[in-house]
Amino acid sequence: MNFLEETLQALGERGDEPWILHGDRTVTGNDLLRRTGAAQGALGDIGPGERVVLLGPNSPDWVAIDLAIQCAGALPVPFYTRQSPAEMEAMIRDCQPAMVICADEELAAPLRNCGVPVRVYHELDGPVAAPEVRERPCSDPLRIFYTSGTSGAAKGAVLTVANVNFMLPRTCERLDYLMAGTEERERVFHYLPFCFAGSW
């Protein structure tokens, strides 16, 4: 079982327990599973190996759509919302995505003429369905993170399934060590955008 299957299983096991607290909004494991499945269904023909740009601030929708893209076997390519449209267009030309998904029309508008279909989150509210994970070998690219571009043009760094399968258990081991003796359910405060590798 790879990390994505483990994540979906954990969401189901948590069921109606809180999974994400976002402002005054509480999202349960079941809520996130439903949103992920609906988004995956609404992605249409997006499939293995295709790249999908994801542009938006941290939110439960960002998490669900990111999971949906991965379930489809495609590669999320998260962009930083503060980048200029020119920088984003250059990265779009570089990664050649099949689709760009934005949180809202304000973020989408400058990218409408980039030659790639652009959709906003509410357009991925498809029928409720369980997410389905496509099999992918450990050598498969999983996502592309772009560097900040402070020392020249932004460059895409590719993570594979094997990279994440290796790193997640070690991260969890370290967190377990740091939180040893804590009896309450742990919470993680995300102060970085999810488009940064560390926060993701």
Helix, strand or coil, per DSSP, at residue 90: helix
pLDDT at 149 over 80: no
pLDDT in tens, 12-50: 998 999 999 999 999 999 999 999 999 999 998 998 999
CA distance 5 to 8: 5
pTM summary value: 0.93
Counting beta carbons within 10 angstroms of the beta carbon of residue 102, is it exposed (0 to 12), middle (13 to 18) or buried (19 or more)?
A: buried
Distances in whole angstroms, Cα of residue 153 to Cα of each of 35, 83, 156: 35, 12, 10
pLDDT in tens, 44-72: 899 899 999 999 999 999 999 999 999 99
Distance of CA 27 to the CA centre of its chain: 16
CA distance 155 to 77: 12
CA distance 75 to 155: 16
Under a CB-based contact definition with an 8 Å cutoff, are residues 76 and 69 in contact? yes
Under a CB-based contact definition with an 8 Å cutoff, are residues 50 and 68 in contact? no
Distance of CA 185 to the CA centre of its chain: 24
CA distance 111 to 107: 8
- Residues facing residue 118 across a β-bridge: 100
